[in-house]
Amino acid sequence: MSTALTNKPSEPTTNKSAQSTPEPLDSGTLEWTEIDAIVGGYHGAPHTVLGMHVWKANAAQNQIVVRAFRPLDKEVYVYDVAGDARYPMRKLHKAGFYELLLPERSAPFAYRLILVDHQDDKHEIEDSYRFPFYLTDFDLHLYGEGNFTQAYTKLGAHFRTITPDVAGQTEQVRGVNFAVWAPNAQRVSVVGPFNSWDNRTHAMSRRSEGGIWEIFVPNLVEWSEYKYSIKSHQLGYEIDKSDPYGFFAEVRPKTASRIWDMQKYEWGDADWVSARPEMQRLDQPMCVYELHLGSWRRVPEDNGFLTYHDLATQVVDYVVEMGYTHIELLPITEHPFDGSWGYQTVGYFAPTSRFGTPDDFKYFVDHCHQRGIGVILDWVPAHFPKDGHGLSFFDGTHLYEHADARQGEHTEWGTKIFNFGRNEVRNFLLSSALFWLKEYHLDGLRVDAVASMLYLDYAREGGDWIPNQYGGRENLAAIDFLRRFNEVVHAETPGALTIAEESTSWPMVTRPTYAGGLGFDLKWNMGWMHDMLSYFEKDPVYRRYHHNQITFSLMYAFSENFLLPFSHDEVVHLKHSMLDKMPGDLWQKFANLRALYAYMYGHPGKKLLFMGGEFGQWREWNEAQSLDWHLLETPQHAQLQQFLKDLNQLYQHEPALHQVDFDWNGFQWIDINDVDNSVVSFARRAADPNELLVFICNFTPKPHLNYRVGLPLGGEYSEILNSDWGQYGGSGVQNSSGVAHADDGGVWADNFAWQSCGFSAAINLPPLGVTILKSKRH
């Protein structure tokens, strides 16, 4: 900085227009190199130049200098708020660099800028460069080392109210603080309609070597669009990006972020949140309704989306009536392409604006909780799309992804893979996870595509991947990230669940990290799902040759904490709907599906079913259309729906079906050897082993009367559910009155050892049906 004063001090004017700027252009109190850097957009620290500063004229004298860069304005004045005086600023550079030197002032004071544009219109604004930074040095340190796990509290766009500590400042100033990570940028500016999308006006300052840029822009309001204009050190690369930490976005196909105040919503779910650690223990019932908000139901008139408010009422009423405990949302994180179902995310901190605002989504979650329904989000940390406004090549370099396509490109999905070994990327993803759990009170995260994260050679041919440092195929950085993710989530949000969609035999997915596991609470049992669908798709005459498909899952059922999924992935891409997968005529299709669901609810593990499966949707799921609710006008579909409703109620009511899901104390095979008749039987036990249910499953269309089956306890049993009851569209082969949950007797155990039990009884087995008996000894 120059020590020579080359411009004359300005004289104050009070409520008068300014005179024209002095004629000679000089560098004022600066070197030309600094002015050129500001004007050229490569300074990097404009806060050290622009705004109000104490300038040391000589060893004994401090003077006040104010500088501004206003390329769109003809004249600029400094307005002394307390003194009600205006000072004209000198234009030192034709591009719009202005300076005011006040030798009679030695201490900073409250001021505003008065701008006169080329149409001679005047505007009074607060100067962004007179306000202190929001991020502390400690924040920057944590971010750099990968431990700023709630970075969303500082990065992105945040409303702040500031009272600058300067003379004459009596009013608070409200505005928005912007912060973004772009370490390889030469210049980052925030742009929007508030500055005519001009990237010269609000240039941000680089706060550290780690590459976080920051600025405060006063007097902005909610809904204002904005982007970050990034000029890279890479020659010629300049682009506008949406905010990686943005809380709200324009409706696609528009791509700007929007400002939103995340603190104003008033929650009403305190009772739910405080009780959640108890309600979501693994010995509690958990039957999940998987849901795509955009296609569960549409507005009939124009096939438009329902809003979050509409869905809060309609979905929750339905889910409560059906007896589900949770809903799992396909990704509602902001995404540009409807056909990705949300799995190609660009907004890791923004609920999609297709259905409303962030507060509207909070209302949706709040309403779920107040009605006793938990909410799980499908979260996608494995990969992200290449859309130009998103994370890809963010600052002119491969910032969030690997540079080498063998590590950074997911060729099967056409997406980018996160660089899990980079501290700042880990911050970003961990912050996203905590953001949804803390800010939106979500009850769990289902982590998508975990297998693609664990293996470096996932969906790759030989030579198309890079081994780890030990020559193996395991992605060590991703493994470390997943463990850290689970540790952070469980420490910061007690009671929240983490669920892995992991399709391989990777060991200890749901075992604690301190024992060498990944630390998830639950894992989708993809092996069980594939075996069961393969078995039930077969004509019953051939099932005897594939009996092992319905029994094999118990060989590994307790190696993990499993959730049994029939998800959206099973009803798309020519796989057929759940009902249409079933063989046989119309009656047999419905009977098979009822038997499959009954077996699912008897099998150890938590439950998940995708929307439409509960009433027998015929066609495959299409994200652009509503479910076919008119099918419920047909008796068979309404009866299937009633069966699922009763099954859910039975599941929640009977501890034997959920208390001991993850070890052998809760399950006992009675008989698996009747291969020729495709019959299996087993018992489920509660924590009290005398509280038990017996399942007898006949997977052929042939009924068996007086079929002897072993029973663990003597005495009387009630048939509490039978998938063949007439009320469900069955043939009525039963052992009771046919009323769900009725305590009406029907089966007495003989003191006659049979199969693996000390007692037995002769019962009627319905065709393609499952009979559930409950001992009345408890």
The first and second tokens of residue 166, run together, are 């300067």
Output the CA–CA distances (angstroms, integers) from residue 535 to 323, 550, 635, 701, in the order listed. Answer: 27, 7, 27, 15
Reported as type and span, the H/E element at residue 328 is: strand 326-329
Helix (H, G, I), strand (E, B) or coil at 156: strand
Give the β-pairing of 90-93 and 85-88: unpaired
Three-class SS of residue 482? helix
DSSP β-ladder status, 497-500 and 444-447: parallel
Would you tell me how many other CB atoms lie within 10 Å of the CB of residue 625?
12
Residues forming a β-bridge with 232: 185
DSSP SS3 for 64 = strand
Query: Cα separation of 394 and 714, whole Å?
Result: 69
Question: Whole-angstrom Cα distance, residue 10 to residue 13?
Answer: 9
Q: What backbone torsions phi and psi does residue 670 show, to the nearest 5 degrees?
A: -95, -50
Sign of CA dihedral 722, 725, 730, 735: positive
118 Cα distance to chain centroid: 47
Indicate the pairing of strand 692-698 with strand 746-749. Answer: unpaired
d(CA 592, CA 600): 12
- Three-state DSSP state, 33: helix
Of 593, 558, 616, 649, nearest in space to 287 by CA: 649
In the annotation, is 585 catalytic? no
Is the Cβ–Cβ distance between 257 and 225 less than 8 Å? yes
The full DSSP string for 665-680 is GGEEEEEEEETTTTEE
* 448 catalytic per annotation: yes
730, 656 contact by CB (below 8 A): no
Rounded CA-CA distance 518/658 in Å is 24
The phi, psi pair for 740, rounded to 5°, reads -60, 135
Catalytic residue among 126, 501, 521, 661: 501
Distance, in Å, from the CA atom of 232 to the CA atom of 397, rounded to the nearest integer, reads: 8
- Give the pair of three-digit tokens for residue 608: 């998940």
- Please give the structure tokens belonging to residue 555: 């060989």
Kind of pairing between the strands at 606-610 and 287-291: parallel
How many CA atoms within 13 Å lie on the side-chain side of 75?
Answer: 18
Q: Which amino acid is at 652?
A: Q
Alpha carbon distance 496, 485 (integer Å): 12
CA atoms 698, 700, 703, 708: torsion sign: negative
Q: Distance from first CA to last CA of the chain, Å, rounded?
A: 88
Name residue 231's beta-bridge partners.
Answer: 187, 238
- Residues with catalytic roles: 448, 501
